[in-house]
Every structure is written in C-alpha cells, then in structure tokens.
Structure 1
C-alpha cells in the first residue's frame, strides 16, 4: 500500500517524504548514541566472592572419601 502511495506521488512529494525520513533517522541515531554514553560509563559488576560452608569429615580413617563428597 505504501509503495502504491509513493508511486502515485509526484517526484517532489517523494523527495519530501525521503528527506523527512532521513531527518527522522538521523535524529534517532543521535538519540541512541546519547543513550550509549551513560551505559558505557557504568562500572562493571564486581563479582561477589563465593562462600561455602563445608562440614568436617567425620568418617573413619581409611574410608573412601568419594562416598562422602
């Protein structure tokens, strides 16, 4: 449908629509680039240290530890 509209438009109307879209597109690019700057300045996330609680081994001496892990 849009193609039919453009083909029915005069060359001046086509040029006007193309220029309007070009202006919109340039404005959108500037807007997105403006949003990228604050994100780039954010500090990278610091990973938290892994904390584990390990129960002491209470098996008999000589037992296979693989069964306890």
Structure 2
C-alpha cells in the first residue's frame, strides 16, 4: 500500500485492533459509487485514533485508485 498521507502514529503497523471498524467502513465505501452510502461521523475521546483511522482509509483509497476518490 502507498502512503501518500503520513500517518500520525508513525509506523503503519502500529494501528491494530480496528478490524471491525475497517470492515464496516469498507462496506460503506463500496456503496459510495452506487449512491447508497450516507454521511458518517467518527466520535471518540481524545487520543483514541480517529485521525489515524481516517488517514488509513485515505491511504487505502489512494492505493486502490478505484471509483471512490479520496
């Protein structure tokens, strides 16, 4: 995977334990070209990985170079 957006946590391997969230957002992203997805919000306490999560999604979309433009 390419990393055009530097992740705030440093090494990309440090972001672990978010498989459920990535799976949920993966389904959401796949429905965007079909116009079936609605807006989402990420709410959590400070320093819980929100920015890193969004950066990882951006990098995945950038690498896929598919129908969804990050």
TM-score, structure 1 as length reference:
0.30
Rg larger in structure: 1
Going by fraction, where is helix more abundant, 1 or 2? 1
RCO comparison, higher one (Cα < 8 Å, 6+): 2
